[in-house]
């Protein structure tokens, strides 16, 4: 008996990224990126100039790092986002190696001094073993002494700030309504975005695995990382009750 064709996951749908791009990657976010990259470099102190930007999206960090003289490889699986990244890099006259690949499969042994995974670009997969596979790939891709920087919404931060619903306007005049639900005993968060544009509404749903600081630390140490440090902001604040993000810095 033939198996039915597998339905694409939410992150495999280019239409999702096209529709949400104005909200997720506003021009304001691009303008903030150089300062954010400076903070990332201050927290990581990479020993060399070779950088992997995993799930690079439209190239915010990749381009900012390339402007500082780093040799950057930006990896993403989404055609639309890579097209945006290439166009922006060309307009800003910087050279970045762009690669279309799934983060579960991309690995270049002993190649990079610094790896980035930012903007909650982790935990996409319902099977957490695939999250571990991503961490293993990053570990293998770093040179000895290389450092891995992760930025996400930690479970503890979300528990303190959780809102079941919110609304915002997009730069093009559209409205986005977000509905959020904690599922699987705090293992995942399910989000539905309703985008209302020109009188028409479209819905997009996605879910992410949630990690506490301790769970993320244990996952990183499990694949071989050492000196795992957790922070609550890009300014290096402790990962405590006032944390705004879950940031991990781990060394190979």
Burial of 111 (0-12, 13-18, 19+ CB in 10 A): middle
Residue 19 lies in a domain: yes
176 pLDDT higher than 70? yes
Do 182 and 240 reside in the same domain of the chain? no
Do 85 and 146 reside in the same domain of the chain? yes
Do 104 and 166 reside in the same domain of the chain? no
β-pair partners for 169:
175
pLDDT-based confidence at residue 197 (cuts at 50, 70, 90): confident
Residue 240 lies in a domain: yes
Taking the C-alpha atoms of residue 64 and residue 85, their distance in angstroms, rounded to an integer, is: 12
Residue 67 lies in a domain: yes
Burial of 57 (0-12, 13-18, 19+ CB in 10 A): buried
Residue 2 lies in a domain: no
Residue 3 lies in a domain: no
Do 163 and 150 reside in the same domain of the chain? no
Residue 5 lies in a domain: no
Q: What is the CATH number of the domain that holds 41?
A: 3.40.50.150
Do 219 and 243 reside in the same domain of the chain? yes
β-pair partners for 226:
251
As given in the structure block, the two tokens for residue 236 are 């290096």
Domain count, the chain: 2
* The predicted structure's pLDDT at residue 1: 43
Taking the C-alpha atoms of residue 101 and residue 74, their distance in angstroms, rounded to an integer, is: 10
Taking the C-alpha atoms of residue 228 and residue 216, their distance in angstroms, rounded to an integer, is: 9
Do 128 and 171 reside in the same domain of the chain? no
Residue 168 lies in a domain: yes
Mean pLDDT of 10-31: 86
Taking the C-alpha atoms of residue 56 and residue 46, their distance in angstroms, rounded to an integer, is: 18
Do 137 and 45 reside in the same domain of the chain? yes
Q: Are strands 71-76 and 50-54 parallel, antiparallel or unpaired?
A: parallel
Domain boundary among 188, 206, 224: 206
As given in the structure block, the two tokens for residue 214 are 């301790």
Mean pLDDT of 22-38: 91
What are 50-82's pLDDT values in tens digits? 999 999 999 999 999 999 999 999 999 999 999
Do 175 and 60 reside in the same domain of the chain? no
As given in the structure block, the two tokens for residue 21 are 């791009």
Do 150 and 187 reside in the same domain of the chain? no
Do 92 and 127 reside in the same domain of the chain? yes
Do 75 and 125 reside in the same domain of the chain? yes
pLDDT-based confidence at residue 224 (cuts at 50, 70, 90): very high
Do 108 and 220 reside in the same domain of the chain? yes
**Domain that residue 49 falls in:** 10-154+211-251
Angle of helix 60-67 versus helix 79-91 axis, rounded to 10: 30
Mean pLDDT of 138-143: 99
Which 3-state string (H, E, C) describes the chain?
CCCCCCCCCHHHCHHHHHHHHHHHCCHHHHHHHHHHHHHHHHHHCCCCCEEEEECCCCCHHHHHHHHCCCEEEEEECCHHHHHHHHHHHHHCCCCCEEEECCCCCCCCCCCEEEEEECCCCCCCCCCHHHHHHHHHHHHHHEEEEEEEEEEECCHHHHHHHCCCEEEEECCCCCEEEEEEEEECCCCEEEEEEEEEECCEEEEEEEEEECCCHHHHHHHHHHCCCEEEEEECCCCCCECCCCCCCEEEEEEC
Residue 104 lies in a domain: yes
* The predicted structure's pLDDT at residue 7: 65
pLDDT-based confidence at residue 5 (cuts at 50, 70, 90): low
């Amino acid at each position: 008996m033939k198996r039915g064709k597998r339905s694409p996951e939410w992150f495999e749908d280019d239409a999702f990224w096209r529709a949400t791009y104005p909200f997720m990657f506003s021009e304001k976010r691009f303008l903030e990126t150089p300062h954010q990259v400076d903070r990332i470099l201050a927290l990581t102190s990479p020993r060399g100039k070779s950088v992997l930007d995993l799930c690079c999206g439209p190239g915010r960090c990749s381009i900012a790092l390339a402007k500082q003289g780093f040799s950057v490889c930006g990896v993403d699986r989404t055609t639309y986002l890579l097209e945006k990244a290439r166009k922006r890099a060309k307009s800003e006259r910087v050279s970045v190696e762009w690669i279309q690949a799934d983060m579960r499969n991309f690995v270049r042994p002993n190649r990079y001094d610094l790896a980035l995974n930012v903007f909650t670009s982790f935990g996409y997969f319902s099977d957490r073993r695939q999250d571990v596979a991503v961490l293993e790939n990053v570990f293998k891709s770093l040179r000895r002494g290389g450092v891995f920087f992760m930025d996400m919404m930690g479970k503890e931060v979300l528990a303190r700030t959780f809102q079941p619903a919110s609304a915002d306007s997009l730069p093009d005049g559209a409205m986005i309504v977000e509905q959020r639900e904690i599922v699987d005993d705090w293992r995942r968060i399910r989000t539905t975005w309703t985008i209302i544009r020109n009188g028409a509404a479209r819905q997009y749903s996605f879910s992410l695995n949630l990690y506490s600081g301790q769970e993320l630390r244990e996952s990183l140490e499990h694949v071989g990382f050492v000196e795992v440090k957790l922070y609550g902001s890009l300014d290096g604040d402790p990962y405590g009750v006032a944390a705004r993000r879950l940031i991990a810095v781990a060394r190979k």
